[in-house]
């Protein structure tokens, strides 16, 4: 039992002493010295740059590709649901499924229909349309909207 206690004391004293000897000695040696200082950098942009007065003065490199991004979204429209009673029942059924993004669409003929969305991803819209078809037995059309 004494040998086990001796090994325990040696490991608890010598291993941490071996690991932390140099950092403790550096701390004691540099106790009264300032070891770090923070210099606030000068603003070199104001001194070195020429004033730009118009946006046409800025030169854009040809290496930077400029693209026009067309954002699009997808909705699931249900043109067969036109009456108010069907619309309210369908909206309640969708809310029971956890779908809360219900919108009303009006077409050129002033016929209003109900739609679900918008979705950013077409595959997500198709999955939701399939879920609605399987759960509520209403088939919807996945349509693209340009924003």
Angle between helices 84-97 and 122-136 in degrees, nearest 10: 110
Enumerate residues 6+ apart whose C-beta is below 8 A from 80. Answer: 138
96 or 49: which carries more pLDDT confidence? 96
Q: What is the CATH number of the domain that holds 92?
A: 3.30.70.1070
Peptide bond into 22 cis (omega under 30): no
Whether residues 78 and 127 share a domain: the answer is yes
Q: pTM score, two decimals?
A: 0.48
Whether residues 78 and 31 share a domain: the answer is no
The structure tokens 């037995």 sit at 137
CA distance 12 to 53: 69
**How confident is the model over 73-125, as pLDDT tens digits?**
888 888 777 777 777 888 888 888 888 888 877 766 666 778 887 888 888 88
What does the pLDDT average to over 127-135? 88
* Residue 23 falls inside a structural domain: yes
* Residue 12 falls inside a structural domain: yes
């Amino acid at each position: 039992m004494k040998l086990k206690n001796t090994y325990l004391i040696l490991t608890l004293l010598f291993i941490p002493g071996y690991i932390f000897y140099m950092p403790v000695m550096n701390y004691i040696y540099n106790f009264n010295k300032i070891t770090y200082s923070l210099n606030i950098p000068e603003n070199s942009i104001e001194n070195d740059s020429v004033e730009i007065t118009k946006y046409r003065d800025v030169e854009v490199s040809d290496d930077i590709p400029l693209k026009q991004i067309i954002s699009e979204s997808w909705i699931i429209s249900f043109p067969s649901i036109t009456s108010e009673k069907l619309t309210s029942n369908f909206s309640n059924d969708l809310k029971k499924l956890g779908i809360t993004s219900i919108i009303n669409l009006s077409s050129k003929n002033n016929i209003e229909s109900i739609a679900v969305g918008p979705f950013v991803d077409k595959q997500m819209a198709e999955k939701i349309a399939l879920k609605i078809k399987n759960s509520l037995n209403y088939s919807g059309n996945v349509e693209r909207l340009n924003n």
